[in-house]
Every structure is written in structure tokens, then in C-alpha cells.
Amino acid sequence: MRQRRLRAAELFAHGATQAEVARTLGASRQAALIWYRRWQAGGAQALHGAGRAGRRPRLSAAQLDQVEQALLAGARTHGYDTDLWTLARVAQVIQQVTGISYHPGHVWRLLRRLDWTPQRPARRATERNDEQIARWIAEDWP
């Protein structure tokens, strides 16, 4: 978007009208008007933009690293019965480690920042006996 605004500044400098800039760059006339006014007030520098868009992350990079180390230690380390990480469990660990609370529904965004992917555990019966299954396949099945 910044490149498009800077291209608009070049076009304005060469005498293009707001309508021409809007048509050339595929923008609305209102956007071209805003760009033109900013360009008149501060030149091309005024069209660079405000910087980062959106809300700043609540967890710093160091805190995010602490959370990842806690998650890598495993769920059992944090007192859970299984090593299965759920969003609610991760939210509790984030609260314990950093003091910042997250809704479980938003925890997946943090996990994506850590390059973690959603996975489901293999569903197997606890009574499953692999030796008997192998014997059945070798002897009974044929």
C-alpha cells in the first residue's frame, strides 16, 4: 500500500489530477483526495504511512519464548494427566508463566506465531493388543 501511495505522489508531482491518479492506481476518488491533501501538506514523506497497523502484541518476544519453553516441557510437567495440549490448558500456562490472560479461543493465534500446528491424537482403544492383531492378520485372515 505504501508503494501505491508513493506512486500517487510521483503522479501528483508530474501534474496528474486526483481522478487520473485514482484511475491509474485503481483507488477510489476519496483515497486520491486524501493522498493529494497529504502530499500537498508534507510531500511524498507524508504518504509513507503511520507504520505498523493494528494492536501491538500483548506478549513480548521474550515472554513468547518463555511460553514456548513451558509448552515444550510438556503438559504433564504442569500438572495435567495427559500430554495433550488443549487451548484451555495453553491459556492457563500462559497465565501462569507471564501473568497475562488469554481467552482459549484466541490462543491458537499465539501458537501460530510459534509455528505450532493443530494436531489430533490417534484414537486407539486402550485395550488394543497389537500382538493379537498381528497374529490374526497372519493366521486367521488368510
pLDDT per residue over 8-20, tens digit each?
999 999 999 999 9
pTM comes to 0.53
**Which residues touch 118 (CB under 8 Å, ≥6 apart)?**
108, 111
| Helix (H) or strand (E) run with residue 141 in it | none
Rounded Cα–Cα distance for residues 137 and 125 (Å): 18
pLDDT digits (tens, 9 = 90+) for 1-59: 888 889 999 999 999 999 999 999 999 999 999 999 988 998 888 888 766 667 888 89
Choose between 96 and 128: higher pLDDT: 96
Residue 137 CB neighbours (<10 A) = 10
Enumerate the domain spans of the chain: 2-47, 61-113
Q: Is it the case that residue 95 has pLDDT exceeding 90?
A: yes
SS3 100: coil
